[in-house]
């Protein structure tokens, strides 16, 4: 795949850089942009981000690996994040995780062979009032049950 | 607009929309604030007794007064919306239901401290709420409440820009110095204090970091007055708090209530009690880092920092996690230890290694392979993390472990084997007399 931002995206990078006192601060939003466009942060993507950010590649790698939400390997089209932290655990979060894991034969940070679904056991997502919860890509789903998760995932497919 | 106890989340339909907010007296508190000098605003906030809602409970007015006066250097304000503490989900409600009050709070804080640029740091998982804040902020800019145009709107020469910064999944970013590292575009490593952010913060400039709820409370204080505010709730920790109820409770959710509400009332009246009428085994009163409360104590606990201190805990972020009588506390603690191990940034050895060690010990305990001695080892590992790290994540990891062992030791004793000792003529072997490995070798 050709790893390049469009001129519009490059303009957005310039805007982001300008809104901070030092342009380096724009690295997080630019990594978000890159992940959205290229799906995950491969070495080549990070190299490209380093170029547009005018930063050493090692710095980009350092930042990208610090945060769990930047993907360092390809994930599924539907990235299922299941919270198993205490509030969710008390209300069945682990059962939800096991259910998805068994059903699709994938473990933490793995994806199905067709590339559709990936699974991540996440730490508290800040939806404890609706525990147990999962997130599919960017959307939260609260008070879920295994059956409801199945429904959600079938609807997406 | 402000009727106790709904100061931060007034019960008004569609309040998240700018026009509803304005028609209900929104941005009037800022107008009122700029009638006085910046120092008067700081004085009001100090006098109100407002204490930070991020967990440390430090006086907000005091914090603001640490900022240097004058405008030789740029000064920054960072709003901490990282909200990653397990059990807390209150700031999300502000982003969703009352974003403009947060923006107005930023204007007031900015005016009081002479700040020209503020950052709202929102955790990466909150995609939806980042968008909601962006919409609210764009509306406020367009209507001239923020940015260059606000000079004209409010008729003075103060203006402020607000930037929303999205995190990417790191619990440690909720620690103020780590948040600054993250904002500057580095790995989010916490920094040693001093220098404190008020002297040397973002990009080396004076910076104040406040929690979302703290700042969203400010317009209410300005509006109703410091005196009235200081009379709400517990005298030493006044105001309203956003309590987040979760775990084994019938009506989980975020509730804005006066501080100092009895814990029992919070759980049984507000939260509707425990599902199936079960008994309570333990309560974490303020997010996962706070030591737990024993069921015997529930009748005497009031939900403010001073009362909780008497029971060896703190209000934290007021995220109350309730566990019923069937809960396996070893498993709960193991899950927390896993969390802190996963989230330790790795800078300080006691936290990086200690959290891993605690997780291993608890794993062993969960499998029924630990001995009674391991409980003491676990306690001592926690004690050696506490106070020996740059940031408070170390304490956050150590406190629940120590708290659970102190108050629920019998639960842990049930899950371990008794110590075994061997008489050995060899002095060296004799000293390793609790050695489990010896058992395995034999």
Q: How far apart are CA B96 and CA B54, in angstroms?
A: 18
Q: How far apart are CA B95 and CA B213, in angstroms?
A: 10
What does the pLDDT average to over B272-295? 97
Where in chain B are the domains?
Answer: 18-231, 234-324, 329-423
Where in chain A are the domains?
Answer: 7-66, 78-156
Residue A131, chain B, CB below 8 Å: the answer is: yes
Residue of B nearest to A123 (CA): B339
Q: How far apart are CA B95 and CA B112, in angstroms?
A: 23
3-state secondary structure of A27: helix
B124: pLDDT strictly greater than 80: yes
CB contact under 8 A, B183 and A25: yes
Q: Which carries the bigger pLDDT value, residue B143 or residue B425?
A: B143
**In a 10 Å sphere around its CB, with 0-12 CB exposed, 13-18 middle and 19+ buried, how is residue B201 labelled?**
buried
Give chain A's residues under pLDDT 50: none
Q: Which residue is it, tokens 């004209």?
A: B152
Structural domain A78-156, CATH architecture: 3-Layer(aba) Sandwich (3.40)
B432: pLDDT strictly greater than 90: no
| ipTM confidence score | 0.97
Report pLDDT for A94. Answer: 97
CB contact under 8 A, B163 and A19: yes
Report pLDDT for B421. Answer: 60
Closest CA to A124 of B353, B304, B247, B34: B247
Paired tokens of B365: 């305990």
Q: How far apart are CA B226 and CA B143, in angstroms?
A: 29
> Cβ distance B293 to B301 under 8 Å?
yes
Q: Which residues of B touch A131 (CB under 8 A)?
A: 246-247, 252
Angle at CA B91, nearest 5°, toward B87 and B95? 140
Q: Which residues contact B293 (CB under 8 A, 6 or more apart)?
A: B263, B282, B283, B284, B285, B301, B308, B311, B313, B407
Closest CA to B180 of B388, B391, B343, B16: B391
Pairing of strands A134-136, A139-141: antiparallel
Report pLDDT for B431. Answer: 58
> Cβ distance B413 to B375 under 8 Å?
yes
CB contact under 8 A, B182 and A86: no
Q: Which residue is it, tokens 């067709």?
A: A114
> Cβ distance B92 to B9 under 8 Å?
no
CB contact under 8 A, B187 and A63: yes
Report pLDDT for B312. Answer: 97
3-state secondary structure of A150: helix
Paired tokens of A28: 């997080």
CB contact under 8 A, A21 and B248: no
Closest CA to B337 of B364, B315, B319: B364
Residue of B90, B245, B246 to mutate when probing chain A, most A C-beta within 10 A: B246
B219: pLDDT strictly greater than 60: yes
Residue B273, phi-psi category: left (phi > 0), alpha (psi -120 to 50), beta (remainder) = left
Give the closest-approach CA distance of A6 to chain B in angstroms. Answer: 22
Paired tokens of B274: 């425990």
Does B329-423 match B18-231 at the fold level? no
Report pLDDT for B72. Answer: 86
Say what the pTM is: 0.95
Q: Compare CB distances from B203 to A22, A84, A139 and report the shortest one's residue.
A: A22
Asked if CATH classification 3.40.50.620 holds for the domain at B234-324, the reply, yes or no, is no
Structural domain A7-66, CATH architecture: Orthogonal Bundle (1.10)
Q: Return the half-sphere exposure (C-beta side, CA atoms, 13 A cut-off) of residue B55.
A: 30
CATH fold for the domain made of B329-423: de novo design (two linked rop proteins) (1.20.1440)
Confidence class of residue B430 from pLDDT cuts 50, 70 and 90?
low
Q: How far apart are CA B106 and CA B216, in angstroms?
A: 8
B371: pLDDT strictly greater than 80: yes
Cis peptide leading into residue B5 (ω within 30°): yes
pLDDT, tens digit, 9 for 90 and up, residues B14-25:
999 999 999 999
Q: Which residues of A touch B323 (CB under 8 A)?
A: 90
Report pLDDT for B3. Answer: 87
CATH fold for the domain made of B18-231: Rossmann fold (3.40.50)
Paired tokens of A2: 């050709």
Q: Which residues of B touch A86 (CB under 8 A)?
A: 86-87, 247, 284, 288, 321, 332, 335-336
B440: pLDDT strictly greater than 90: no
Angle at CA A139, nearest 5°, toward A138 and A145? 135
**In a 10 Å sphere around its CB, with 0-12 CB exposed, 13-18 middle and 19+ buried, how is residue B431 labelled?**
exposed
Helix and strand numbers, DSSP H then E, in chain B: 19, 8
Render B240-253 in DSSP notation, one character per residue: EEEEEEEES-SS-E
> Cβ distance A128 to A77 under 8 Å?
no
């Amino acid at each position: 795949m050709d790893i390049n931002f469009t001129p519009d995206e490059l303009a957005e990078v310039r805007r982001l850089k300008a809104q901070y006192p030092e342009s380096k601060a724009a690295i997080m939003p630019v990594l978000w942009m890159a992940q959205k466009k290229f799906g995950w942060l491969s070495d080549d993507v990070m190299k490209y981000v380093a170029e547009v950010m005018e930063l050493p590649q090692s710095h980009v790698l350092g930042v990208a690996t610090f945060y769990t939400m930047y993907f360092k390997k390809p994930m599924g089209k539907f990235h299922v994040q299941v919270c198993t932290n205490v509030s969710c655990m008390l209300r069945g979060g682990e059962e939800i995780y096991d259910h998805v894991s068994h059903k699709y034969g994938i473990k933490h940070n793995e994806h199905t062979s067709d590339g559709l679904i990936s699974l991540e056991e996440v730490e508290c997502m800040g939806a404890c009032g609706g525990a147990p919860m999962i997130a599919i890509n960017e959307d939260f789903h609260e008070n879920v049950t295994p059956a409801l998760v199945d429904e959600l995932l079938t609807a997406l497919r | 607009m402000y009727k106790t106890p709904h100061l931060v989340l007034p019960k008004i339909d569609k309040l998240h929309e700018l026009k509803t907010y304005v028609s209900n007296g929104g941005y009037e508190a800022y107008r009122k604030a700029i009638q006085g000098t910046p120092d008067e605003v700081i004085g009001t906030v100090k006098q109100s007794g407002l204490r930070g809602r991020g967990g440390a409970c430090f006086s907000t007015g005091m914090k603001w007064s640490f900022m240097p006066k004058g405008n030789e250097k740029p000064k920054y304000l960072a709003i901490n919306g990282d909200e990653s503490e397990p059990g807390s989900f209150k700031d999300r409600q502000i982003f969703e239901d009352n974003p403009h009050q947060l923006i107005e709070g930023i204007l007031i804080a900015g005016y009081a401290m002479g700040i020209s640029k503020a950052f709202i740091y929102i955790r990466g998982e909150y995609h939806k709420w980042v968008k909601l804040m962006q919409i609210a902020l764009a509306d406020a800019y367009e209507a001239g409440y923020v940015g260059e145009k606000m000079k004209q709107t409010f008729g003075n020469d103060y203006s402020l820009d607000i930037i929303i910064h999205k995190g990417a999944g790191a619990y440690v970013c909720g620690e103020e110095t780590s948040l600054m590292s993250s904002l500057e575009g580095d790995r989010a490593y916490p920094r040693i204090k001093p220098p404190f952010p008020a002297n040397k913060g973002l990009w080396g400039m004076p910076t104040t970091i406040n929690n979302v709820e703290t700042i969203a409370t400010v317009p209410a204080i300005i509006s109703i007055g410091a005196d009235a505010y200081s009379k709400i709730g517990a005298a030493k920790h006044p105001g309203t708090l956003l309590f987040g109820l979760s775990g084994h409770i019938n009506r989980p959710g975020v509730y804005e209530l006066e501080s100092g509400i009895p814990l029992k009332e919070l759980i049984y009246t507000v939260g509707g009690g425990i599902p199936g009428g079960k008994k309570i085994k333990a309560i974490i009163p303020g997010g996962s880092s706070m030591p737990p409360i024993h069921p015997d104590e529930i009748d005497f606990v009031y939900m403010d920092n001073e009362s909780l201190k008497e029971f060896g805990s703190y209000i934290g972020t007021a995220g109350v996690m309730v566990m019923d009588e069937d809960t396996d506390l070893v498993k709960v603690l193991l899950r927390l230890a896993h969390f802190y191990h996963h989230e330790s940034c790795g800078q300080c050895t006691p936290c990086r290694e200690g959290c891993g060690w605690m997780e291993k010990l608890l794993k062993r305990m969960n499998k029924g392979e630990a001995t009674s001695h391991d409980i003491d080892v676990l306690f001592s590992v926690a004690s050696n993390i506490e106070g020996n790290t740059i940031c408070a994540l170390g304490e956050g990891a150590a406190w629940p472990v120590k708290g659970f062992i102190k108050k629920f030791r019998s639960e842990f004793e049930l899950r371990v084997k008794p110590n075994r000792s061997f008489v050995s003529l060899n002095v060296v072997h004799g000293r390793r007399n609790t050695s489990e490995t010896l058992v395995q070798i034999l």
